[in-house]
Amino acid sequence: MESNPLHTKCAPPERLSIHEVQEEREKLSGHICSSYFDFFPLPLIVLNSHRQIVFSNKAFLDILGIADLGSFLGLRPGEAMGCTYAHIEEAGCGTSTFCRECGALKAVLESMINNSKTQHDCQLLIKHDDESSAKDLRIFVSPWDVEDGKYYVVTIVDIEDEKRRKILERIFFHDILNAAGGAKALLDTLFDEVPEESKELMSLVQASLFGLVEEIKKQKQLLALENKEYKLSMLTLQGIELINLVANEYRTHPKAYGKKIVVSPNSVNVQVLSDYTLLMRVIINMVINALEATPENGSITIGLDDNGDFAKFWVASRKVIPDHVKVQIFKRSFSTKGVDRGLGTYSIKLLTENYLGGKVGFTSEEPDGTVFWVNIPKCNQGK
């Protein structure tokens, strides 16, 4: 190892000499695993215990724009990739105060300390020919024992598209919800001021805006759930109040135009322990799906039964589902309503079974029609 009196403000500064690194490379080149690294489509490098690059696959060389590791051998990742902060300290990559928040360095050090697989996201600021650019990367590190040496396989995934999509989604949902919500509030305020002959038209516009706002909220919530960004808030809820609320509110929904929503007179109140927002979304989705399958002048029925340890929320409609459609219900992208649809029944299953601890199902036979149901745990379950 090179004698190095260099100081550090973060990770250890010591390095092996270029001769020692070359010996390590020769050892790894003869390992059977190394011959397969070039078949791996993602950029991959192998670091020694001093965080120096001793091996790489072709995909990593491609992002550097070089044909051979050559002059990059023995460098640390930030130095090879052109990190703006790699040379602030004389000891190089990983030794400055800026490096303390580096996701790539955190992943490597955690893997070294814990001898385990690690993962971190890294926002890399690159400077090349006096021009700066940014990269969003996800770094995976896995220890690799080779003979009497310890190495670390680092895989690099570009997540720029994922990050940009999330930013655009947040901006879209924030701005569009504000705009649609503001327009709806304005129409509600002006409703009493319009002439009597215009109120029917105004009601249709209100219903359309209501449907738009609810659809945006549904998509925003579904994304949060799939990304595991939603936090549950479990409350004691009165089931009968929920179905009455949905029935009353959704009689003005565009999908309910010319149709009836009936609350079953046999419904009983059952207390449930659940997340209000998610359970309401489940009931609403069942109602919307039933309305979409119901012709004008038709009706749907919403009800609540006591089902042992569960409260059974259900929505019934007259139309029977064809057999070839039944077997694909609850799939994420399946829909009979056209392309880019199919989130309704999928979200019912996702929310009920993954988050609310319940079960979901349906029956669809002549002459009874179709009934979608969800079983939600009652408050007294397990007592």
3-state secondary structure 348-367: HHHHHHHCCCCEEEEEEECC
> What is the C-alpha to C-alpha distance for residues 78 and 28, in angstroms, rounded to an integer?
22
Query: Tokens 């003005």 correspond to what residue?
Result: 252
Task: Check whether 170 has a pLDDT greater than 70.
Answer: no
pLDDT tens-digit series, residues 133-152: 888 899 999 999 998 889 99
pTM for the whole structure? 0.55
Mean pLDDT of 173-202: 70
Query: Tokens 């409609």 correspond to what residue?
Result: 317
Strands 310-317 and 299-307: antiparallel
CA of residue 187 relative to chain centroid, distance: 34
Task: Check whether 171 has a pLDDT greater than 60.
Answer: no
Cα dihedral across residues 212, 213, 214, 220: positive or negative: positive
Q: Which residues contact 296 (CB under 8 A, 6 or more apart)?
A: 257, 258, 259
Task: Check whether 338 has a pLDDT greater than 50.
Answer: no
By CB neighbour count within 10 A (0-12 exposed, 13-18 middle, 19+ buried), where does 70 fall? exposed
> What is the C-alpha to C-alpha distance for residues 300 and 287, in angstroms, rounded to an integer?
8
- Tell me the percentage of the chain whose pLDDT exceeds 70: 85
Mean pLDDT of 88-103: 94
Task: Check whether 202 has a pLDDT greater than 60.
Answer: yes
Output 325 or 99, whichever has higher pLDDT. Answer: 99
What confidence score (pLDDT) does residue 172 get?
60
Residue among 66, 70, 65 at smallest CA distance from 53: 70
Q: Average pLDDT of the chain?
A: 85
Mean pLDDT of 49-64: 92
Cα dihedral across residues 315, 317, 320, 322: positive or negative: negative
What confidence score (pLDDT) does residue 350 get?
82
Task: Check whether 322 has a pLDDT greater than 50.
Answer: yes
What confidence score (pLDDT) does residue 300 get?
96
Mean pLDDT of 341-350: 69
CB 130 within 8 A of CB 124: no
